[in-house]
Structure 1
Amino acid sequence: MIELLEGRFFKTFIVVMEEQSFSRAADKLGYVQSTVTTHIQLLEQACGQKLFHRLSRGVKPTAAGEKLLKYAYQFIHLGTSIEEAMNEIEQAQGTVYLRMQESFFLTRFSLFMQHFVKEFPKVKLRIESGFHQDILDQVLNHAIDFGIVPRDPKRNDILFYPLVEEKLIFVASAALAREVGREGLERLNQEAMISFGTDCLYHTQAGMALQDAGIDVMEAIELPSLEMIKQSVQCGIGFGLVPEIAVKKELEDGDLKLLPISSANDSMHGLIVHKNRELSYPARLLQAKLTEGAAMFNDGR
């Protein structure tokens, strides 16, 4: 089987999986569609399995296709690692792939990144946003080098390096906070809780804290970005649970107010990597700088 496999087949396979379409994959790769079809057919022959169900609108992976994805990422990563090792032995040059929550990037990682790329301009950081479970899945599938998650997954196949303890607080507009002050926390039963949605651990933690406080919120509003959550809360659309560092300025300016909800919702963000991941030199360099730079994260600077 191994004699029949080529890296370009796996590259094509991964893009088809991501795009769920042969034609869109061809456009993204710069191929004609027949080339994509040929690559997948040859990969299916090598594997002895059908990898996709052909549908009227695109394709859907078979069970074999889903299982192959992890190994496709590993195959591509191995090729990249060999190339980097041979061409730039122990040189700060190459690409590192990460995924983290948008809020962590905005409040913690962006400043670190500025320092890192200034010091190592030939290291390219490819960063995607996500939430705890999909970040973990990407690390488990070897699709990325690292993830930054708000909680230790506590898995034997994952290494977790603590970076910063994140204090989470409930905030509301000044007007809603005054009403809560007059009427008590039960006033929040009439309001919507605004969050990133059920995929985010913050949403789960907020639900537990509100339940402990005897609050049954009217509804939950899901928004895709931290800035949208802050502005919606400021406008009085509802209240939310956010990292304290993310609303420091708004609290100082009086645009947002802290709600008196007792919470043990602090979250320990950390770097995760697959235990069996063979890290490139640039990836090892980033890992070292991240763990060394924990003080920067804790200071919020």
Structure 2
Amino acid sequence: MELSELKIFLAVARKGSISRAAEELHCVQSNVTTRIKQLEEHLGTLLFHRKSKGVALTHSGHLLMNYAERIINLSREAEEAVSDQGEPKGRLSIGSMETTAAVRLPRLLAYYHKIYPKVELNLVTGSSKDSLWRLLGYQIDGALVAGEIDHSNLSAELAFEEELFLVAPPNITSIDSIENLKILVFGSGCSYRAQLEEWLRKTGKITYQVMTFGSIEGIMGCIAAGMGVSFLPRSVVERPHYQNLCTLFSLPSDVGKMNTWFVRRRNEKYSKALQAFVDLICSSRQ
């Protein structure tokens, strides 16, 4: 097997489509199809179920995907071990929650780019669950996530300490006056959403509707319009352009505090670019 074949295989597996994989790889669809068939013939097994729209991994395909990710990563590590001399350089992909990306990262990323201009930074936003999945799948190099980290293949360092508020429409004067409760949150896998729903269960407010959003602006705009409430960090809601759009309610310490962690894969050689990013986050807390 060649590395190029494994990279093509992984692109098809992740996209679930030969045509979309070809677009990502910047090559013609027929070339991708041929290389996949050659790989299947070499291994003597089908790697994909062909469907009317797209493809799906077979059992053998799932097995190969695990090995392929590890092989590609080891190849990259080998290259970095040999060439990672002098100043940080190369590609660095970081996963982050939307809230952290919007508030905590802009200045850090700008400063990082200024002092390490040879690093190609890539920021991928999503829920904590999504970021951990991408990290374990070798799609990103590190991730900023919230909540507890309990995985033997990951190591975590404290990045930020967040204070959470119950954020309600500006006309709400007390938590008890909130009726027809709607919670405005990010999708499943968001740590702040999980914290909010746990608090609702503890306080007996078990009847509520959920509205999901993809951005802070969407959530805050709908809170300002009186549509519902959310749990958000102080660093987000105390920005000047949000202060007149909502009412903030302090929360008990067991639900009102949440740490953001920077998570990396354990037991692998870290590039200078990644280590420099971690050092910058740690220094920002001092």
Q: What TM-score comes out, normalization by structure 2 length?
A: 0.91
In 2, Cα distance between equivalents of 1:254 and 1:47: 63
Report the alpha carbon displacement of residue 213 of structure 1 after superposing the two structures with TM: 2.4
In 1, Cα distance between equivalents of 2:243 and 2:22: 51
| Matched letter for residue 129 of structure 1 | T
Distance change in 2, residues 1:161/1:48 (3 Å): farther
Deviates more, 1:104-113 or 1:32-41: 32-41
Distance change in 2, residues 1:149/1:252 (3 Å): closer
Q: Does 1:81 align with 2:71?
A: no
1:212-231 → structure 2 map (5 Å cutoff) = 212-231=202-221
1:24-45 deviation per Cα after TM superposition (whole angstroms, max 9, x unaligned)? 2223322222211122123324
Report the alpha carbon displacement of residue 217 of structure 1 after superposing the two structures with TM: 4.1
CA RMSD of superposed structures (Å): 2.1
Instruction: Give the match for residue 282 of structure 1.
Output: 273
In 2, Cα distance between equivalents of 1:70 and 1:143: 13
Instruction: Give the match for residue 299 of structure 1.
Output: none
Report the alpha carbon displacement of residue 250 of structure 1 after superposing the two structures with TM: 5.3
Instruction: Give the match for residue 25 of structure 1.
Output: 21
Q: 1:268 aligns with which of 259, 262, 281?
A: 259
Q: Does 1:111 align with 2:107?
A: yes
Q: 2:237 aligns with which of 247, 265, 271?
A: 247
Instruction: Give the match for residue 37 of structure 1.
Output: 33
Equivalent pairs: percent with the same residue? 26
Mapped contact 2:168–2:247 kept (Cα < 8 A): yes
Q: Does 1:198 align with 2:188?
A: yes
Report the alpha carbon displacement of residue 267 of structure 1 after superposing the two structures with TM: 1.2
Distance change in 2, residues 1:260/1:161 (3 Å): closer
Distance change in 2, residues 1:67/1:189 (3 Å): farther
Give the secondary structure class of the aligned counterpart of 2:231.
strand
> Gaps spanning 5+ residues in structure 1: where?
296-301
| Matched letter for residue 69 of structure 1 | M
Higher helix share goes to which structure? 1
| Matched letter for residue 94 of structure 2 | L
Q: What TM-score comes out, normalization by structure 1 length?
A: 0.87
Q: Does 1:130 align with 2:126?
A: yes
In 2, Cα distance between equivalents of 1:217 and 1:233: 19
Q: Does 1:10 align with 2:6?
A: yes
| Matched letter for residue 32 of structure 1 | V
| Matched letter for residue 212 of structure 1 | K
Give the secondary structure class of the aligned counterpart of 2:76.
helix
Report the alpha carbon displacement of residue 140 of structure 1 after superposing the two structures with TM: 1.8
Instruction: Give the match for residue 145 of structure 1.
Output: 141
| Matched letter for residue 211 of structure 1 | R
Distance change in 2, residues 1:207/1:117 (3 Å): same
Mapped contact 1:188–1:217 kept (Cα < 8 A): no
Mapped contact 1:94–1:123 kept (Cα < 8 A): yes
